[in-house]
Amino acid sequence: MNKMIKNVFLLVCTVGIMCLIPVFLLHDSPIPVDIVRLDAQELAAKKEAAAKAEKQARSQARVRKVYACDVDEDCIIVEKDPCGCTIGPSGVTAINVNHILDFNSINNQKSVTKTCPEKVSREKECSPTAHPVCKAKRCSISY
């Protein structure tokens, strides 16, 4: 009996599907599909924007790596500006000692073409007690 019910159910389903086929085939118009078309300029602009975003992401990852640390010994104080502490605390920073070359390529330090002040700043970051430390996995200057 159970097999007979199953066969009747399958027969009803088959007949139902067979009745629906003409409904789909007899439509007067096809289903509308909108395809977005990009011209060459838009496509080039999208590719350029994607490349720029990828380059920026790589650059940010590189910067994070330069400042990352695990222990205080990983850090060193370096000059961000060719004048260093003579322009104040903005002239120095703390970075990972293993990534000095990366920092130099990111920072693009050129030879001194500007006149630096004569007197060295004695603000916190430039004081004799300033030393590099690793805080929250990032190199910084403590005083």
- pLDDT 10s per residue in the chain (143 long)? 688 898 999 999 999 888 877 777 776 666 677 777 778 888 889 999 999 999 999 888 888 889 999 999 999 999 888 887 778 777 888 999 998 888 888 877 555 566 777 777 667 777 788 899 999 999 998 88
For tokens 């500007």, name the residue.
114
pLDDT of residue 110: 56
pLDDT of residue 113: 65
Domain-wise residue ranges, the chain: 72-143
Rounded to 5 degrees, what are φ and ψ at 105? -75, -35
Q: 106 and 62 in contact (C-beta within 8 Å)?
A: yes
For tokens 């027969």, name the residue.
11
For tokens 């130099």, name the residue.
104
Q: 75 and 96 in contact (C-beta within 8 Å)?
A: yes
Q: How far is residue 33's CA from residue 5's CA, in Å, rounded to a whole number?
A: 42
Q: What's the pTM value of the predicted model, to 2 decimals? A: 0.58
pLDDT of residue 126: 78
Q: 79 and 39 in contact (C-beta within 8 Å)?
A: no
Rounded to 5 degrees, what are φ and ψ at 92? -135, 160
Q: How many residues does the chain have?
A: 143
pLDDT of residue 109: 58
For tokens 């050129």, name the residue.
110
pLDDT of residue 137: 92
